Amino acid sequence: MLQPAQILPTFDGIAHGTQLQTFGCSRKQLAAAARTGAIRRIRTGVYALPHTSPAIVTAAEHGGALTCAAALRAHGVWVLPEPDGEIHVWMGSAGRKHHQRCVCVAHYSPGKLVLGTAPVTQALIHLYRCAGHEAFFAAYESAWNQRLIGAGDRARIRQELPPSAAWLLDLARGDAESGLESLLRLRLHVLGIRLDCQVEIDGVGRVDFVIGGRVILEADGKLNHEYSRRHKDLIRDAEASTRGYETLRFDYAMIVHDWDRVVSAIIAALARSRA
């Protein structure tokens, strides 16, 4: 006979007692498992594993499923880092709120409400509403790239977002390899600047991005600080310059948090390349 603690992983570590009963767990068994600490009773009729993530438990205490950035991250989607630690909860179309006073952010949208983690499609729709177009765009492309959303899901998202979001969905593509690439393409698109990714340049090799056909942009990660890597980068920069390219290097933090500085460097380099 299956124990409740063996069934719960199927449900993201949290479920209604009635869901567990469909696997043959009696109410008595649930109560016994809660007494021994094998499972935790979260609220009336809701049970979790002892190690179920605190965010999922809080969302269930509130009355729904964890959604937005935290849910997308749990699905492996890239999401822009955001400062707040609020719990975002999907409440179905009209779920009942169980918290009396709290700072949870509730999202109502149609669909079969489950506890645990909201599905990727739902979480993306919610993210657009509360984190804005950049965060949504990067997460949407990341989910698409990882085949976490298919054509049907994308159509559903288009249907649920306001018409003012259509241009973002039109711009999005399924081959963006990183959140940084998505973010750069979106921000440069707004300025009317073309971005090519993972470009092979003769004598230089593969570069992260080429902007406006002439300026190489390399997004440096931590590893680039190693001496041998730095030496190779300097050779690449020299080869690029010989071939008429200018190389700009920024790190992730600059691109994400210091965009004004980055964009003015890009625009100046583009102007030089056309001079």
Strands (E), the chain: 14-16, 40-43, 46-48, 65-66, 88-90, 105-107, 116-117, 195-201, 205-211, 215-220, 246-251
Kindly state the greatest CA–CA separation across the chain.
Answer: 80
Residue 104 as a binder of Zn ion (CB under 5 A): the answer is yes
Amino acid at 262: V
Stretch binding Zn ion (CB under 5 A), from 23-31, 38-46, 87-95, 176-184 = 87-95
Q: Is 195 a binder of Zn ion (CB under 5 A)?
A: no
- Residue 88 contacts Zn ion per CB under 5 A: yes
Cβ 97 to Zn ion shortest distance, Å: 7
Site string for Zn ion, 235-274 (x = CB under 5 A): ----------------------------------------
119-148: which residues touch Zn ion (CB under 5 A)? 126, 130
Q: What are residue 3's phi and psi, to 5 degrees?
A: -90, 150
Q: How far is the CB of 127 from Zn ion (least distance, A)?
A: 6
Residue 40 or 126: which CB sits closer to Zn ion? 126
Q: Between 99 and 189, whose beta carbon lies closer to Zn ion?
A: 99
| Rounded distance between C-alpha atoms, residue 144 and residue 63, angstroms | 29
Binding mask 21-40 for Zn ion (x = CB under 5 A): --------------------
Rounded CA gap, 68 and 123, in Å?
A: 5
Label the pairing between strands 215-220 and 205-211.
antiparallel
Q: Which is nearer to Zn ion, 36 or 100 (CB)?
A: 100
Site mask for Zn ion (CB under 5 A), range 45-84, x = bound = -----------------x-----x----------------
Contact 223, 229 (CB under 8 A): yes
**E strand segments, 95-233:** 105-107, 116-117, 195-201, 205-211, 215-220
Q: Which is nearer to Zn ion, 79 or 215 (CB)?
A: 79
| Nearest alpha-carbon partner for 50 in 62, 34, 63, 73 | 34
Whichever of 20 and 168 has its CB closer to Zn ion, that residue is: 168
Report the interface residues with Zn ion, using CB under 5 A.
Answer: 62, 68, 88, 99, 102, 104-105, 126, 130
